[in-house]
């Protein structure tokens, strides 16, 4: 059984601002979300994102997040979701943001934390996608930081959307691995996801369509 009739796959964009200083310092600058809502036998998909520019206030992202995750009965999922929530909580005002409180202290939303391991250690998001044969954005921390400093977030946003779709496909893989019922649900949702991706007019969707064709899924 599905945990709820609304599934929201969340992917947080972090910038490695400490790499030039030789320290481990990452900051969250955006979120991309793919939502699937079950309406009878149909699944309605929507994809949205919000990337902060250097001049933007954190409240902009937190308010946007609240509009997308605070929904009655929704399940929020993502790869290493708890770590992503902790990252967002580090933003100014994050501790008191309704969206984050709904996913932590208040427990208003169901959470489904996805994870994987590689060689006996926790796998990164990209490693997990590689294991499952799912396309995701390339790791280009230096380029992402340069683009963000210039206020050019178009590429960052496109890659975030690519990864949000990848996170949802990881969720479907997880459902399929649980039992036969989960596999049947995942297969049905995968078919509808593919149709939606084929009809969507943006690069992230086209990349996943090509990936599905290549993998024969």
Is residue 208 assigned to a domain? yes
- Determine the pLDDT at residue 64: 97
- pLDDT band of residue 211 (cuts 50, 70, 90) is very high
Distance CA 88, CA 61 (A): 9
Distance CA 8, CA 38 (A): 12
| pLDDT tens sequence across 1-58 | 455 688 999 999 999 876 666 666 789 999 999 999 988 888 999 999 999 999 999 9
Q: What total number of domains does the chain contain?
A: 1
Distance CA 179, CA 171 (A): 14
| pLDDT exceeds 90 at position 197 | yes
Distance CA 118, CA 147 (A): 31
Is residue 189 assigned to a domain? yes
- Determine the pLDDT at residue 95: 86
| pLDDT tens sequence across 102-116 | 888 556 678 889 988
Is residue 1 assigned to a domain? no
Q: Where are the alpha helices (DSSP H) in the chain?
A: 58-69, 81-89, 98-103, 125-132, 141-149, 154-178, 180-199, 203-215
| pLDDT tens sequence across 111-158 | 889 988 877 788 899 999 999 999 999 988 889 989 999 999 999 999
Q: What is the CATH number of the domain that holds 159?
A: 3.30.420
Q: What angle do CA 122, 128, 135 make, to 5 degrees?
A: 155
- Report residue 128 as tokens: 């997990």
* Domain range for 134: 6-215
> Of residues 88 and 19, which shows the higher confidence score?
88
- Determine the pLDDT at residue 158: 96
Is residue 149 assigned to a domain? yes
Q: What is the mean pLDDT of residues 92-101?
A: 90
Is residue 202 assigned to a domain? yes
What's the whole-model pTM score? 0.91
């Amino acid at each position: 059984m599905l945990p709820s009739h609304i599934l929201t796959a969340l992917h947080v964009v972090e910038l490695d601002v400490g790499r030039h200083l030789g320290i481990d310092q990452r900051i969250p600058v955006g979120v991309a979300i793919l939502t699937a809502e079950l309406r009878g036998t149909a699944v309605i998909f929507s994809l949205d994102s919000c990337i902060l520019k250097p001049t933007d206030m954190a409240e902009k992202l937190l308010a946007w997040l609240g509009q997308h995750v605070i929904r009655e009965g929704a399940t929020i999922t993502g790869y290493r979701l708890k770590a992503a929530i902790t990252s967002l909580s580090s933003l100014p005002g994050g501790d008191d943001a309704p969206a984050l409180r709904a996913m932590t202290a208040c427990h208003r939303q169901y959470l489904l934390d996805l994870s994987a391991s590689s060689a006996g250690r926790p796998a990164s998001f990209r490693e997990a996608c590689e294991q499952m044969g799912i396309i995701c954005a390339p790791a280009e921390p230096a380029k992402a930081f340069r683009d963000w400093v210039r206020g050019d977030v178009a590429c960052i946003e496109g890659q975030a959307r690519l990864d949000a779709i990848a996170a949802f496909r990881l969720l479907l893989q997880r459902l399929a691995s649980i039992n036969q019922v989960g596999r049947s649900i995942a297969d049905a949702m995968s078919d509808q996801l593919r149709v939606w991706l084929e009809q969507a007019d943006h690069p992230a969707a086209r990349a996943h369509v090509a990936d599905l064709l290549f993998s024969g899924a």
